[in-house]
Amino acid sequence: MRSYSFFVLLIVIASGCSRDTTRPSQRSEESAGAAEEPATRDVGAASAPETSKPWNADLGTASIVGVVRFVGSVNPPGPLDTSSTPQCVRINKGPILDESLIVGPQGGLKNVVVWIRKGLEMWEFPPPAEPAIIDQKGCKFEPHVLCLRVGQELRIRNSDPLIHNVHALPKRNTSFNFTQAQQGMESVRTFERPEAMIPIRCDIHPWMACYVTAVPHPFFAVTSEDGWFELSGLPPGEYIVEAIHERLGRQRHTVSVADGQRLQLSFVFHNNSGAKKQE
C-alpha cells in the first residue's frame, strides 16, 4: 500500500511541474517588457527590413537643405539657478544660460535635430569608428543637443574640477547612471536602437541637461542659431524628414528627391503651434 501511494504521489508532482517551467520573475519581466513599448509609441524610425543591403555611397547624389525658424516673441536666454553650487558660478565667471530655446537674430531656431525618419530602410549603414563626445565643462553638458549613430561610441568626459553624475533616461535603449568624481574621467556608452531626444541629466546639479538622438544612418543635422541644415549624399527617393525640438515638439514633411536634385525645405515652429510634442 505504501509503494502504491508513493507511486501516485510521484505522478502528481511530475504532472504539476510540467505545467509551466518559466520562473515567476521571468514571466513578470517578459510582461513588463511588452507593456513598456506599445505599438503607438513614437520614439524612433521603422526597423530595417530583412532584405537590407550595404550602403553604396555612389548612389548619393541628392540633398535636402533648408532652415528651421521660430515665429513669435521669445525672451533672450536667461540664467539658470546655480546657487546651490557656488563653485560652478566661479568656474564660468558668470551665470549659466538656459539653452532650451535659442532663437537667432534672423529667427533661426538652434538645437533642432533634422533627420531622415523614413525612406532608407533598404540600406545598412555601419557606425563610424570615431566617437561622439559629450563634455561636462563649466557645470553644463556640451553640446546641449547631440546626434550620433546607432552603435557609435559615445564618450562622456568630465572636464570640471568637481564631481558630476551622468544619468540617461531613454525609452527604447538601456539607461545608465554613473558618477565621475574626478577631472579628466571618461566613460563610454552606446545606444543600440534608434531613439529621439534621450534626456541626460546630472542628479547632483539639477540644471545640467542635454539631449541625445541616436540615428541608424548618417543623414542628420543639428541646427545652429541660423537654423540651417543640410542632408547631403542621399539617393533619389521619397523620404519623411523630421525636425525635433526639446520644447516645441516635432514636425514632419514627406518629400521626393530626384537624382542630383538639391531640394529646399523649411520648418516653422512657434509656441502652441500644434506640433507633435515629445513622448
Q: Which domains does the chain have, with CATH numbers?
A: 53-269 (2.60.40.420)
Q: How confident is the model at residue 35 (pLDDT cuts 50, 70, 90)?
A: very low
Please give the share of the chain, as a percent, with pLDDT higher than 90: 72
Q: How confident is the model at residue 229 (pLDDT cuts 50, 70, 90)?
A: very high
Beta bridge partners of 97: 79
Mean pLDDT of the chain: 84
Beta bridge partners of 220: 115
pLDDT in tens, 149-186: 999 999 999 999 999 999 999 999 999 999 999 999 99
Return the number of other C-beta atoms located less than 10 Å from residue 174's C-beta: 11
pLDDT at residue number 15: 42
Lowest mean pLDDT of 72-76, 118-122, 146-150, name the range: 72-76
pLDDT at residue number 65: 98
Residues 82, 88: contact at Cβ < 8 Å?
A: yes
Report which of residues 214 and 24 the model is more confident about: 214
In terms of DSSP bridges, do strands 62-70 and 262-269 run parallel, antiparallel, or are they unpaired? parallel
Taken in order 119, 123, 124, 126, the sign of the CA dihedral is: negative
Q: How confident is the model at residue 49 (pLDDT cuts 50, 70, 90)?
A: low
pLDDT at residue number 107: 95
Q: How confident is the model at residue 89 (pLDDT cuts 50, 70, 90)?
A: confident
pLDDT at residue number 275: 46
pLDDT in tens, 203-226: 999 999 999 999 999 999 999 999
Q: How confident is the model at residue 44 (pLDDT cuts 50, 70, 90)?
A: low
Mean pLDDT of 16-32: 36
pLDDT at residue number 279: 39
d(CA 175, CA 6): 52
pLDDT above 70 (res 23):
no
Helix residue ranges, H only, the chain: 2-17, 24-36, 86-92
Whole-prediction pTM: 0.80
pLDDT at residue number 94: 82
Strand (E) or helix (H) holding 262:
strand 262-269
Nine-digit cell string for 145: 543637443
Residues 217, 123: contact at Cβ < 8 Å?
A: yes
Q: What's at 180, amino acid-wise?
A: Q
Cα dist from 234 to 62, 119, 144, 241, 244, whole Å: 5, 10, 27, 12, 20
d(CA 105, CA 119): 34
d(CA 237, CA 59): 11
pLDDT at residue number 276: 47
Nearest CA to 136 out of 158, 165, 162, 164 is that of 158
CB contact set of 237 (below 8 Å; sequence gap of 6+): 119, 256, 257
